[in-house]
Amino acid sequence: MNGHFAAVDNGNGSSPDSNAHNFEHGIQVINEDKQYNTNLNEYLHETHVAEAGFNYHLISVFGSQSTGKSTLLNHLFGTQFSVMSERERRQTTKGIWMAKNKNEGHMADNILVMDVEGTDGRERGEDQDFERKSALFALATSEVLIVNIWEHQVGLYQGANMGLLKTVFEVNMQLFLKDKQNQTRSLLFFVIRDHIGVTPLANLRNTLIQDLTHIWSSISKPAGLENSKIEDYFDFAFAALPHKILQPEKFITEVQNLGSRFTAGHRNKDADSSDDQEFTGGVFLPEYHRRIPADGLSIYAEGVWDQIVSNKDLDLPTQQELLAQFRCDEIAREVQVAFDAAISPLEEQQAQSTHAGKPAVLPDLGQIGAEAREKCVKNFETQASRYHKGVYTTKRAELEDKIDVRLKALYQAHLTAAHKAGVTAFSEAVTNAVKAGQKGGTYEFAEIVEKQKSKTLEMFKKEAQSLAIPGVAWSNFKPQYLIFEKELDQVSARLRKEEMRRLAIRVERWVKSRLGDAIGLEFNKLGSGRGGSGAPESGEKPSSEKDIWDRVWKAFMGIVGEAEGRFTDRAKSFEASDDEVQVGLWRLRRKSWVALREKIEEEVMESNILMKLRENFEDKFRYDQDGVPRIWRPSDDIEGIYTRARESTLGLVPLLSRFRLTSTGAPPDLAEFVGPQPHGVEVGDEEDLTSIGGVDEDEGKSLEEETTILSEPKSQDLVVRFKKMADGVYVEAKRSAIGGITQ
């Protein structure tokens, strides 16, 4: 049914050959071969009617041929329809012509007039067919049908005019039966020509109304409409004109008066329908208008004519829907040109930057997008909303969908870029602030993160909000904002973990340095055997030596305890979770132990420990219990003192070789000290964790081994070396004792 719509090549006013046609005489809408002229659209654009929306009017003139119809229209509307010359009396108007009123001043805007070929006087069936078709066409499009009639024809019921009217009525029934909701009415405007003036117009009018009523009653009416009255469909108006040739001046004046009636008017609600006071203003009542937007008139007329010519049932609502579909699609294409011009460059820019791996954040995207969308939809609305409401609503939604798909893609990619840039900026800002803080000595990690997070979130929020289009649900990017916030939290967690690492390293360093001092001190004490020689005979070690491991352990525990406190405080300050803190402390304890072991190993390195033993021995050997240096005399029991001091010092070797606490006689419970391995941490995974004997059971190293400071061979070696050294000291003492006598 809508085949013709698809095939239409509809020239519009801006086409390059818009001046190619000569519209001097108007345009022949339907030619003598009953073909429709699609140039009508071009004509409507040329005459600026096309842009008028509903602000135009359509009038058709009917009547027998050579009754001065064309002459009348030319005088009334300044048109140039062909008029039969006085000499050759033959039909000049072929088919249906249309022209725009040129006498606009005192009339309504944009009056289009259709001059319909007269049919009267010919009996040929062909012409009756055309009469019917043109009547249908006129009724489907026109608000006013001028019926041109000689005065002497009035009352001739059998006359050709009456045949024409009968056709009009029948056709009207056929047309508006399909469209029962339709409130459209038409005005039959009788113009009585060559009015001599003997019979007043009022009488002529009555006669005509009687005839019309008679005709109406004679036509067969479809079921349900048997009782319908002519007034249900038609209004009537009447005018009389004097003889153009006999009373030329009067003719001109009366034509002018007639012209002034072609203005907008409205019905007086309470008036009696037979009363002339029924109307106020001119003949154009709103209900006569066919409500076809001017820019769709050509397409509509074409569709209507196509149905008529092929003798199909003319169904105006369907025609209007088809028109709406065609025009809405056309308008949608037109309005998208500007949208495309605004959006395509952005799409290209985005595609390029994405391709280059650097997704761009497009400046002013929200504003450009919203404006382009608004303009596009508004333009569509302005033009398309005049068409069938249902179709318009659907097509508008389609258009919005179409442009929204593009905007959405742009916006999403834009936000993805903003998201990426935001995450990078956040991570960098925090890292830089921490670096600056480290240089400056102090910083609050949690504060830095909080500040940068809210700053970055604010930026993203602004970006997301700049894309919001009021009343457009999809342009609410709150979910993307929440996703962004979540990712910032994840990045924060990662950065916090790094910060924990840095904190751990700082605390470990601190532990090492403290251990260096404290453990060094304890071992240095070995160098002084002071107070020890008081009871060396008993074999007991002086308390400062015997409980060296207790003191080492105590110092160690003190330092680790303090370190744990520092670590916990700092970690809590940047909102590390309890689990994270537990892991950190566990690692700290392990590393601290390892650090302690290293420190001890350093202390018991051969040269170091030998020196300590020597000092210890010398202290015991060379000083008496009051700490006074001994001056050896030959009478002194040098050998005895030497033996006691040596044995006392040698007693240190087994003591030092194993880390034992006096309270238990056993090594410290390292497993208890380190504590259970926190969930989710594997020693093997943490490359920087050294395994600890007795703690990491599967490592195959026992606590015994872990706490063995000097191996058996090393101890023996140490004993041998120490003895040699002690012997030397003894010999020297002996010599000095003898030497002291000789002196």
- Kindly state the smallest distance separating residue 116's Cβ from Mg ion, in Å: 9
- Kindly state the smallest distance separating residue 88's Cβ from Mg ion, in Å: 13
Exactly one of 28, 93, 110, 325 binds Mg ion (CB under 5 A); that residue is: 93
Contact 350, 409 (CB under 8 A): no
How many residues of this chain bind ligand GDP (CB under 6 A)?
18
- Kindly state the smallest distance separating residue 142's Cβ from Mg ion, in Å: 17
Q: Which region among 230-238, 239-247, 254-262, 514-522 touches ligand GDP (by CB under 6 A)? A: 239-247
Contact 186, 142 (CB under 8 A): yes
Q: Which region among 67-75, 151-159, 247-255, 602-610 touches Mg ion (by CB under 5 A)? A: 67-75
Q: Is 523 exposed, middle or buried (0-12, 13-18, 19+ CB in 10 A)?
A: buried
What is the torsional sign of CA 165, 170, 175, 176? positive
In angstroms, the CA 22 to CA 80 distance is 12
How many residues of this chain bind Mg ion (CB under 5 A)?
2
Q: Which region among 95-103, 237-245, 519-527, 578-586 touches ligand GDP (by CB under 6 A)? A: 237-245
Q: Is 252 near ligand GDP (CB under 6 A)?
A: no
Q: Which of residues 161-220 bind ligand GDP (CB under 6 A)?
A: 193-194
In angstroms, the CA 233 to CA 242 distance is 30
Q: Is 70 near Mg ion (CB under 5 A)?
A: yes
Place of tokens 């029924």: 278
In angstroms, the CA 422 to CA 485 distance is 10
- 526: alpha, beta or left, given left = phi > 0 and alpha = psi -120 to 50? alpha
- Kindly state the smallest distance separating residue 304's Cβ from ligand GDP, in Å: 24
What is the 3-class SS of 122-147, one letter each residue? CCCHHHHHHHHHHHHHHHHHCCEEEE
Selection from ligand GDP, Mg ion, none that 610 binds (CB < 5 to 8 A by kind) is: none
Q: Is 247 near ligand GDP (CB under 6 A)?
A: no
- Kindly state the smallest distance separating residue 11's Cβ from ligand GDP, in Å: 28
Contact 323, 303 (CB under 8 A): yes
In angstroms, the CA 658 to CA 709 distance is 5
Nearest to 169 by CA among 223, 237, 231, 114: 231
Selection from Mg ion, ligand GDP, none that 657 binds (CB < 5 to 8 A by kind) is: none
Cα–Cα distance list, 684 to 331, 508, 687, 688, 701 (Å): 70, 20, 6, 9, 15
Contacts 24+ apart (CB under 8 A), 24-27: 24/80, 25/79, 25/80, 25/81, 25/82, 25/97, 25/99, 26/79, 26/80, 26/81, 26/97, 26/98, 26/99, 26/100, 26/113, 26/115, 27/97, 27/98, 27/99
Q: Which of residues 293-312 bind ligand GDP (CB under 6 A)?
A: none
For Mg ion, give the closer residue by CB, 90 or 180. 90
DSSP character at residue 276: G
Selection from Mg ion, ligand GDP, none that 193 binds (CB < 5 to 8 A by kind) is: ligand GDP
Q: Which region among 78-86, 203-211, 520-528, 628-636 touches ligand GDP (by CB under 6 A)? A: 78-86
For ligand GDP, give the closer residue by CB, 52 or 83. 83
Q: Which region among 91-99, 127-135, 225-233, 558-566 touches Mg ion (by CB under 5 A)? A: 91-99
For Mg ion, give the closer residue by CB, 80 or 394. 80
- Kindly state the smallest distance separating residue 70's Cβ from ligand GDP, in Å: 3
- Kindly state the smallest distance separating residue 96's Cβ from ligand GDP, in Å: 12
In angstroms, the CA 177 to CA 172 distance is 8
Q: Which of residues 79-118 bind ligand GDP (CB under 6 A)?
A: 83-84, 86, 92-93, 118
Q: Which region among 63-71, 172-180, 287-295, 669-677 touches ligand GDP (by CB under 6 A)? A: 63-71
Give the contacts of 462 (CB within 8 A, at least 6 positions apart): none
For Mg ion, give the closer residue by CB, 70 or 172. 70
- Kindly state the smallest distance separating residue 179's Cβ from Mg ion, in Å: 31
Q: In the bound complex, which residue of the shown chain has the CB atom lying closest to ligand GDP? A: 68
- Kindly state the smallest distance separating residue 251's Cβ from ligand GDP, in Å: 6
Backbone angles phi, psi at 70, to 5 degrees: -60, -40
Q: Which region among 62-70, 248-256, 639-647, 652-660 touches Mg ion (by CB under 5 A)? A: 62-70
Selection from Mg ion, ligand GDP, none that 71 binds (CB < 5 to 8 A by kind) is: ligand GDP
Cα–Cα distance list, 432 to 221, 280, 446, 572, 598 (Å): 92, 83, 14, 21, 35
For ligand GDP, give the closer residue by CB, 84 or 650. 84
Q: Is 67 near ligand GDP (CB under 6 A)?
A: yes
Place of tokens 């039966």: 177
Q: How far does CA 326 lie from the centroid of its chain?
A: 31
Cα–Cα distance list, 64 to 29, 119, 147, 162, 689 (Å): 20, 6, 9, 10, 113
Q: Is 70 near ligand GDP (CB under 6 A)?
A: yes
Contact footprint for Mg ion (CB under 5 A): 70, 93
Contact footprint for ligand GDP (CB under 6 A): 65-71, 83-84, 86, 92-93, 118, 193-194, 243-245
